Structure formats: structure tokens, C-alpha cells
Amino acid sequence: MSTDSQTLELTEVLERLAPEGEDDSTTVGDLLAHFRGQAHGPLLLVPGLLAVSPVGAIPGMSLAMGAVITFVAIQMMVRSDRPWLPERVEDLEVPADRLQRAVDKTRPAARWLDRHLQARWSFLVRAPGSYVLASTCALLGLSMWPLALVPMGVAPPGIAVTLFGLALTLRSGLLALLGYLTCAAVVGMSVWLL
């Protein structure tokens, strides 16, 4: 994982994501390149959000989300600066008009997050703290497999992974701490249910 001291604000990343020129589309690989050393965050954030959403209740989706989360987290543990994705995934094209609409819709939320969740307690999201975070995400991803048998059982680990993904993207140790507290609540709930 990159220990680059330059942390991009979310609004800056969105500005870089906005399509330029006359291109009809861009690729997933190009989008990830805009995040520089912070690309693991969005790759954890998206499956975390999907696990929490009603999509996570679709049979098989929670297993897929758990696999993706574990895959990304393991890459963080082996110090990859940029996540590896299969070439087929990196070459997927995103239409420029849809990307522009997404950037426009998320810009106000990004400004709010940048303003209120500044990079504080960054030791929780930078090495060596990032390895603890990655290990925790890998375990949460693996826990989604047995939790898939419980209706909406993947939602609590999905919330924690979402918080960790945001923490990595924004370099916010505060969000990482909230993710760890959510993990503790999930473990406590699991022990209580047993």
C-alpha cells in the first residue's frame, strides 16, 4: 500500500474523473488510476455498499461481495500500490455521459465529506495500521459467506467495510475507528446470538 504523503481530497478525485474532451467513454482502469494510492478504498466501498443495500439480499450476491472484499483486502496486505483487477474488468468502458452525471450528483456529498472528515488519526489508515485494517476487511469478507445464510446477515459486516472503504479513500482514521467499533458490535452480536 502506498505511503504517499499526498492525499487527494474527494472533490479533487471527482474533478479528475469528470470526462474531458470528446471521448465517448473511459475504462475502469483509467478511473482507478485517478485515485493513485487510494484506489483500494473505493474498491472496498462499492461492495460494502452493495452488501448493505437490498442487492445484498439477492441469493449469491453476498458471496460475490465477500469474495471481492477479501480479494481487495489481501492485495492491500501484500503491499500493492495499485489494486490488480483482471484485464477484462479494467477494460470495461463507462460511458462519458453517465460518468459526468455520477460526478455531478456526488459532488455535494464529496464537498461535505472533505469539509467534515478531514485526514485525522491517519496512523489508522497508513502503514502499519493499514495492514490491520486490511486483515480486518479480509476477515469481514470471509464472514459474509456463512452470514449469507441469515437474511440480511451480511449488512453489519457490509457497514464496517463501507466505513473502512471511506476511511481509506478520505484517509480518515475517525472513520476507521467507527469501522472497528462496528466490527466489535458485530462480534458481540454474533456471540450473543450463539
Classify residue 149 by burial, with Cβ atoms within 10 Å: 0-12, 13-18, 19+.
exposed
CB 39 within 8 A of CB 82: yes
10-residue averages of pLDDT along the chain (194 residues) = 52 70 72 73 84 80 87 84 79 78 80 75 78 91 86 86 88 88 84 70
Q: Which residues contact 89 (CB under 8 A, 6 or more apart)?
A: 28
* Residue 94 DSSP SS3: strand
pTM above 0.95, yes or no: no
* Residue 118 DSSP SS3: coil
List the one residue out of 37, 51, 21 whose CA is nearest residue 147.
Answer: 51
* Residue 93 DSSP SS3: strand
Within the chain, how many helices (H) and strands (E) appear? 9, 2
Query: H-helix or E-strand containing 43?
Result: helix 40-52
Residue-range domain boundaries for the chain: 10-193
pLDDT of amino acid 24: 73
